[in-house]
Structure 1
Amino acid sequence: MNHPIVIVGGGAGGLELACKLGRQLGPERVTLVDRQLFHIWKPSLHEVAAGTLDIHQEGLSYEMLAHDNRFTFCLGAFKGLNAGQRLITVDAVRDEHGELLIPERTLVYGQLVLALGSTANHFNVPGAAEHTMSLNQPADAERFRQRMLKLLTAAELRKSAGVEAAVRVVIIGGGATGVELAAELREASQVHTRYGFRRLDGLRDVQLTLIEGADRILAPLPERVSASATALLRERAVNVVTSCRVAGVTPDAVTDTEGRSFPADLVVWAAGIKAPALLGEQGLPVTRSGQVEVEPDLRVKGQEAIHALGDCAACALPGGGLVPPRAQAAHQQASYLAKRLRQLAEGRPPSPTPYRYHDHGSLVSLGTQSSVGSLMGKLFGPSWFVQGLLARVMYTSLHLMHHQAVLGTARTATLAVARFLVKRATPLVKLH
């Protein structure tokens, strides 16, 4: 029997792979498994958290995508793997009251792709797991947004009573996620004062602190990009603290190894990621960070019928190190695997050409009006620095390219116009 290709994880890479293969092979041959009902492009979660992007407008239904791209969608969390029998277990689905909606199931596969993404790595910092929030899933971003609204409301009420009040947010980690969240929160804090929080001063009463352990934020990117982002954040009253090693987190403060304390009402952990712990329990070879070790063709080491892509895959670079956990890497790996798995499904030997990561540069959003970054490739030479509106347009185009891969050109264009019009008729931030 010709068992289907099963893809576990509907993030950017997993979903794009399912769409590409589904359009070519059909729903009987391609199945996507995910615990969520809808898809959100992970790099936009900081906008959901700040309230500048409505999760209910942005989310794309997996069932709709499955119908349009001719793959089968299976709702449920990945629970376990039996590589010998080539089957996976999908956990039961229950509602918010614990009532069983869909029982536990097993799926037999011909080829399996693990695209489970990543989760926060707290590096055993005391209190970090208990007292911080991370933006791993859409639900995390939505919880952060609701918590932020409650804090703003409480501060507004205290101000109404003549009591000084502020909302103190500490973001641990000066990578792309931390920087983008800080910029988006500052923009949202100034917008909130127009919608019912009139006693709050967006710059003074929403106090944002960004902590980074390295000597500069955005350390993997060129120094000019880091310097520009730092200057823009400080212009917007974001307290950027570098060379700061976090020693512990309590319910109301973050402390560092030098004994300094940063008061906080809300702490976000954006200082590192790791693969889901469940992967290390399946008998597969994993790294210290839990990533599955893969061959140059993205096959899991020691396995003929299991592949991995995206953040959960430890894919070696030719010159040493690993492919970075970026959306562009997941996109490239999805394109590579689509060709390889189609050849296998058609009974043809796959191309011996290994996967090669191509770094096209990085762009970091600094609000709805500006971005900063560097571009690479033959067109730009070793590195081309971009910032401002041009960089923002390029950043937005990356999101549209992902939508184009899963929705098609015409629907992506229609959706972009529709969202532009909706924003003109709704608040600039989500208020409920």
Structure 2
Amino acid sequence: MQIITSGIRLVPEAVLANDAALFRTIPETPSHADRSLHRVVIVGGGAGGLELATRLGRKFGKRRLSVTLVDRNRTHIWKPLLHEVASGALNMSNDAVEYIAHASRHHYRYRIGEVVGIDRTKRQVFVAPSFDKDGRQIIPPRVLGYDTLVLAVGSVSNDFGTPGAARHAIALDTADQAARFNNRMIDACLRANAQYEQLSPGQLHCVIVGAGATGVELAAELHKSMREIASHNLDNIDFERLIRITIVEAGPRILPALPEHLARASARLLVDLGVQIRCGTKVTEVTGDGVRLGEKLFVPAELVVWSAGVKAPDFLKKLDGLETDHINRLLVNATLQARGDENVFAIGDCASCVLPGEDNPLPPRAQTAHQQADHLVKVVAARLEGRAAPTFRYRDYGSLVSLADYGSFGNLIGGLRIEGPLARLMYRSLYKLHRKAVHGTWKTALDTIAGILARRTKPRIKLH
């Protein structure tokens, strides 16, 4: 039996293959609630899933609704900040949300585990067993019943089958991956400072594959963090001269999903910092020593980050006949219901929703998941009252990009352009809005004050 590791759980390969025969022998797990209550099961505790569970718990409480959140991890971190975890600018211990404690405070149930299948006829969700890092089972396989199922499993990096990418490049899909990169970055600086011989061509060189928001913002954060690390008595070599960061983008410009003026301003700032940008260049292979561009050019690199594209998790295309697109996203209608099943909904990056009058699906942004979570609260209320699900309406509030402390740029609703401190403030406010949705106004305010005080006593970046 092969064991697949990720985070705190080890899942047997046979279970991940969705062995339906195994789950047919398992009785449905009691919800410990009045069976007359409407059962909402939310799969995925990312931004949309956690906000939805919180809002439903607050609005209806355990006496009017049974809400269960299923996630394979024990803590939540806002995904748009994972590049700051990777650079060390954000300490996860200060910002992570512990599902167990949070569920208790906000009137929903949390179940740890990885969903590997559903039975739409019986309205059941199959949850794989959870194992510790030594391979010992913590929780057995479970079957959860539902009346309304919400899939909010987000997205994962798409390496497009590039040879060596899965093995040698680090994606930033999870907090564990971001922490792993952070450790490797610090190790690289310590190693270079301690060695007597000349640095090899790829040492202290980081290649970021993909120039979307994650890749561009990570480049700026790394420029700041690696120099901050070097300032802590790592003075045997000239880090300022030897640290190199390269962004490789297959398309014609960076930030392809954002307005062109934001991309130009960001590119100018990065170039001024010394970041090399290679647009119109495709990575054809990733090795342990660097990346190959095209057929001939090889770029040595000690660190490689893959942020070139996203797709929904592969298991979605195997979910009991639900329709998906070419990147595994569930096809949903304007009410966010999955095609062919009025009891299944999908939100966030794992949903492909083309609204009436539009040609393209909604963008995979945090604001999309936030608005869809708000909408599903109204949907659940309508279902409880026997009314039809309302139509979702999306409002684009604009785009923001923050390049560490060096600059921020934004394009807000109505075409309003902002930059500098105001853009930085707006960028940080997006996270505060998420915190408010998850914790409420008072706790968000207190956490903000605590964070300001902590920055006066702790290192500017995480060094372990």
TM category (shorter chain) comes to: over 0.9
Question: Shift in Å at residue 201 of structure 1?
Answer: 3.6
Describe the SS at the equivalent of 2:385: coil
Describe the SS at the equivalent of 2:126: strand
Where structure 1 has 5 or more consecutive residues not aligned to the other structure, the ranges are: none
Percent of matched pairs sharing the same residue: 41
Distance across 1 between alignment mates of 2:238 and 2:53: 47
Distance across 2 between alignment mates of 1:347 and 1:104: 33
Distance across 2 between alignment mates of 1:313 and 1:200: 49
Distance across 1 between alignment mates of 2:141 and 2:125: 11
Q: Is 2:331 the partner of 1:293?
A: yes
Q: Is 2:368 the partner of 1:329?
A: yes
Question: Shift in Å at residue 155 of structure 1?
Answer: 0.7
Distance across 1 between alignment mates of 2:199 and 2:187: 17
TM-score by length of 1: 0.95
TM-score by length of 2: 0.89
Describe the SS at the equivalent of 1:6: strand
Which of 152, 171, 174 is the matching residue for 1:134? 171
Q: Is 2:441 the partner of 1:409?
A: yes
> Which letter does structure 2 place at the counterpart of 1:231?
R
> Which letter does structure 1 place at the counterpart of 2:333?
E
Aligned to 1:391: 423
Structure 1 residues 21, 50: closer, same or farther in 2, change over 3 A?
A: same
1:93–1:103 contact (8 Å) kept in structure 2: yes
Distance across 1 between alignment mates of 2:146 and 2:366: 26
Which of 33, 48, 68 is the matching residue for 2:85? 48
Describe the SS at the equivalent of 1:26: helix
Q: Is 2:347 the partner of 1:312?
A: no
Q: Deviations over 1:330-388 (max 9, x none)?
A: 001001111111221x2330354x21221111111200453212111xxxx2x122221
1:21–1:342 contact (8 Å) kept in structure 2: no
Question: Shift in Å at residue 213 of structure 1?
Answer: 1.2
Which of 212, 224, 230 is the matching residue for 2:267? 230
1:225-304 counterparts in 2 under 5 A? Answer: 225-257=262-294, 259-282=296-319, 283-304=321-342
2:99–2:110 contact (8 Å) kept in structure 1: yes
Distance across 2 between alignment mates of 1:244 and 1:117: 28
Describe the SS at the equivalent of 1:219: coil
1:2–1:110 contact (8 Å) kept in structure 2: no
Question: Shift in Å at residue 163 of structure 1?
Answer: 2.8
Q: Deviations over 1:277-309 (max 9, x none)?
A: 011111210001000000110000000110000
Structure 1 residues 351, 8: closer, same or farther in 2, change over 3 A?
A: closer
Which of 62, 74, 85 is the matching residue for 2:122? 85
Aligned to 1:425: 457
Q: Deviations over 1:374-430 (max 9, x none)?
A: 111xxxx2x122221111111000000000001000100000110111111111111
Question: How many residue pairs end up in the alignment?
Answer: 423
1:292–1:308 contact (8 Å) kept in structure 2: yes
Q: Is 2:74 the partner of 1:25?
A: no
Distance across 2 between alignment mates of 1:162 and 1:304: 65
Aligned to 2:198: 163
Describe the SS at the equivalent of 1:287: coil
Question: Shift in Å at residue 26 of structure 1?
Answer: 2.0
Distance across 2 between alignment mates of 1:113 and 1:415: 30
CA RMSD of aligned residues (A): 1.4
Q: Deviations over 1:220-274 (max 9, x none)?
A: 2111101110011111111111111121111112112252221111111101000
